[in-house]
Amino acid sequence: SESPEERPIRQRLLVVANRLPVSAVRKGEDSWSLEISAGGLVSALLGVKEFEARWIGWAGVNVPDEGGKKTLTEALAEKRCIPVFLDEETVHQYYNGYCNNILWPLFHYLGLPQEDRLATTRSFQSQFAAYKKANQMFADVVLEHYEEGDVVWCHDYHLMFLPKCLKDYNSGMKVGWFLHTPFPSSEIHRTLPSRSELLRAVLSADLVGFHTYDYARHFVSACTRILGLEGTPDGVEDQGRVTRVAAFPIGIDSGRFIRALEIPEVQENIRELKARFAGRKVMLGVDRLDMIKGIPQKILAFEKFLEENPDWRDKVVLLQIAVPTRTDVPEYQKLTSQVHEIVGRINGRFGTLTAVPIHHLDRSLDFHGLCALYAITDVALVTSLRDGMNLVSYEYVACQDSKKGVLILSEFAGAAQSLGAGAILVNPWNITEVAAAIGQALKMPPEEREKRHRHNFLHVTTHTAQQWAEFFVSELNDTVIEAQQRIRK
Ligand code: G6P
């Protein structure tokens, strides 16, 4: 093995995201339990290992007292995480309000709040003010921990102001920003009252990254049409300064999933699940309970399939894992009751005394339980109405090397661009089409399943989270060096 002197110095990375990879739950005065957070961003970031990385973000919990702050900071330090403490009012205005009631739906083509989602001008303005204030609070923590030469990598729609806060303080800092959601057509972004301020703030970064080429193109169009700036092959130019804009499709740590399937506890779980659902094909959905995931539409498509195919009624089961998320936002509360109502109706309609067609779980599974479930699934249904990438589709493929199940995938998920050739692509709004895809998937001959799976498995195992991060960080380093050379000339 290498001696310490021979070992290359690893790049120090400050990864800043609203959500830390672990979320805290207070167990007592001084004790905290840390649980892995949900969502695609965390799933990918957990796969990034070969850096000297520190994570800066919100631990998902209100911490009013000094004692709590101290003990939580210590507990998080063991995980290389550094907390940003947000007070309740800021969480309400910035996270529930501006991030999740305004930016999130807008970036997923659901538009700005209307009717009961209507934010009055006053609350819109106060939420935007809270958003900027929160971004400044993240910047303050970054500055406390920053060392010359560090790469600061800001993530997602929560932190669009952060590159500006950091560059205002230190224009020499290497700052990248990456969006984990779609960036919508410039015609959609145009409707946002703070459209220009947000774009300019993002352009303060040296490198701006998206999952797909389309999202990058939409962003450049928004800058040219809304700000009147010049789009170049490299990105966006403003008075001689270029912000590089490019696509960096994310991946997962596929090895972690593949290895998990070898663990005796997981194998035991697989055996139990197989016995439990013997004689029935298993269809699976795993989503955060979010309107962008198209859960009601997916369940209605399953109902249509059962309606049209009476022979299949006792031969197939749909397991839907719906992980609760953003439960303080009214839209999400409404979605929960809507989904429960539909599931109840369909189970009443097609259930028997001994079996129901849909098992709906309002909770997350632990990592090993999830791997076992992926492994026994015949058909996975990922039918998001819009989705930045969707890593559930990647996780499913990684766990399917022995079964070679079928992936039904929304054409509006970023993943459609990478797994499209192996999956059955559908328009999730077209319930008849999704019902037909379910039939096609359940009846697909083994040779075709094998061929489709090969394609996807190869992609998922060769485009990993680690490679994604290395590619982004090296591009950021190069961009900064090129910019410095341009200035010297
Ligand atoms: C998406 C977002 C992430 C977010 C995750 C979970 O994947 O892109 O930034 O962390 O959802 O949502 P939450 O609001 O619970 O952090």
| pLDDT at residue number 42 | 84
| pLDDT at residue number 123 | 84
Tell me how far the alpha carbon of residue 288 lies from the centroid of ligand 1, in angstroms: 9
Tell me how far the alpha carbon of residue 37 lies from the centroid of ligand 1, in angstroms: 9
From the number of C-beta atoms within 10 Å of its C-beta (0-12, 13-18, 19+), residue 469 rates as: buried
| pLDDT at residue number 60 | 92
| pLDDT at residue number 437 | 99
Atom 8 of ligand 1: nearest residue by CA position: 180
Closest ligand 1 atom to Cα of 156:
9
Atom 1 of ligand 1: nearest residue by CA position: 39
Q: Which of 156, 158, 290 to mutate to test the pocket of ligand 1 (most atoms within 8 A of CB)?
A: 156
Question: Is 32 in contact with 70 (CB distance < 8 Å)?
Answer: no
Atom 3 of ligand 1: nearest residue by CA position: 41
Closest ligand 1 atom to Cα of 38:
6
| pLDDT at residue number 385 | 98
Tell me how far the alpha carbon of residue 449 lies from the centroid of ligand 1, in angstroms: 32
pTM for the structure as a whole: 0.95
| pLDDT at residue number 3 | 55
3-class SS string, the chain: CCCCCCCCCCCEEEEEEEECCEEEEECCCCCEEEEECCCHHHHHHCCCCCCEEEEEEECCCCCCCHHHHHHHHHHHHCCCEEECCCCHHHHHHHHHHHHHHHHHHHHCCCCCCCHHHCCCHHHHHHHHHHHHHHHHHHHHHHHHHCCCCCEEEEECHHHCCHHHHHHHHCCCCEEEEECCCCCCCHHHHCCCCCHHHHHHHHHCCCEEEECCHHHHHHHHHHHHHHHCCEECCCEEEECCEEEEEEECCCCCCHHHHHHHCCCHHHHHHHHHHHHHCCCCEEEEEEEECCHHHCHHHHHHHHHHHHHHCHHHCCCEEEEEEEECCCCCCHHHHHHHHHHHHHHHHHHHHHCCCCCCCEEEECCCCCHHHHHHHHHHCCEEEECCCCECCCCHHHHHHHCCCCCCCEEEEECCECCHHHHCCCCEEECCCCHHHHHHHHHHHHHCCHHHHHHHHHHHHHHHHHCCHHHHHHHHHHHHHHHHHHHHHHHHC
Atom 14 of ligand 1: nearest residue by CA position: 326
Pocket-forming residues, ligand 1, beta carbon under 6 Å: 19, 38-41, 156, 180-181, 325-326
Tell me the average confidence (pLDDT) per consecutive run of 10 residues in the chain, 489 residues long: 55 94 89 88 82 94 89 95 96 96 96 68 88 98 97 98 98 97 98 96 98 98 98 94 97 96 98 98 98 98 98 97 94 96 98 95 96 98 98 98 98 98 98 98 98 98 95 95 84
Tell me how far the alpha carbon of residue 323 lies from the centroid of ligand 1, in angstroms: 12
| pLDDT at residue number 1 | 45
Side-chain half-sphere of 335: how many Cα atoms within 13 Å? Answer: 23
What's the distance, CA 61 to chain centroid?
20
